[in-house]
Amino acid sequence: MTDSAKLDLLLARFALGLATPEESDRVIELLEGGELSSVLDRMPPAERAAWTLLEVHVGAIAHGRLGPEEGLALVIEVFRSPELVPSTRRPMGSSHDADRLVALQDAYDDARRRESQTGSIVLPTPQIDAQVVLAAREWMARNATGRA
């Protein structure tokens, strides 16, 4: 990932209120270090930041750089961002063409619930994993701009 892409990712996380304390400190350092106008010019609005993060996370799932369940957790994190205004009329994810991916999180949640209720390990996750990877590849085919 180029330095420019890393900065875009950092600023997207910051714009959505998802930056770690270390990432926030880095943005503040950039702002205080004389790069104020450059950083502010690159700071994306929340919607654009969401698209940027989704492309990175969904792309990582689609290309095998992140496990499906781990990557999907990052996708869900984007939609739970304090800076994205949730619509009560639309399901989570539909604003960014990710409703199928978000729905697959429910499948993981159901599997985990069954595990805790029965006390045994239930392994439907390979099927769910395959569905997540397929959904990620389809999302990338429809929405990727080449950043991921």
pLDDT digits (tens, 9 = 90+) for 30-68: 888 766 677 778 889 988 999 999 999 999 999 999 999
Radius of gyration in angstroms for the set of CA atoms belonging to the chain, rounded to a whole number: 17
Q: What is the mean pLDDT of residues 109-125?
A: 76
Q: How many CA atoms lie within 13 A of 109 on its CB side?
A: 8
User: Given a cut of 90, is residue 141 above it in pLDDT?
Assistant: yes
Domain ranges within the chain, ordered by starting residue: 3-143
Spatial contact of 83 and 17, defined as CB atoms under 8 Å apart: yes
**What is the mean pLDDT of the segment spanning 15-40?**
84
DSSP, res 94:
G
| Mean predicted lDDT score pLDDT of the chain | 85
* This prediction's pTM: 0.85
* Residue 105 one-letter amino acid: Q
Question: How sure is the predictor about 138, in pLDDT bands with cuts at 50, 70 and 90?
Answer: very high
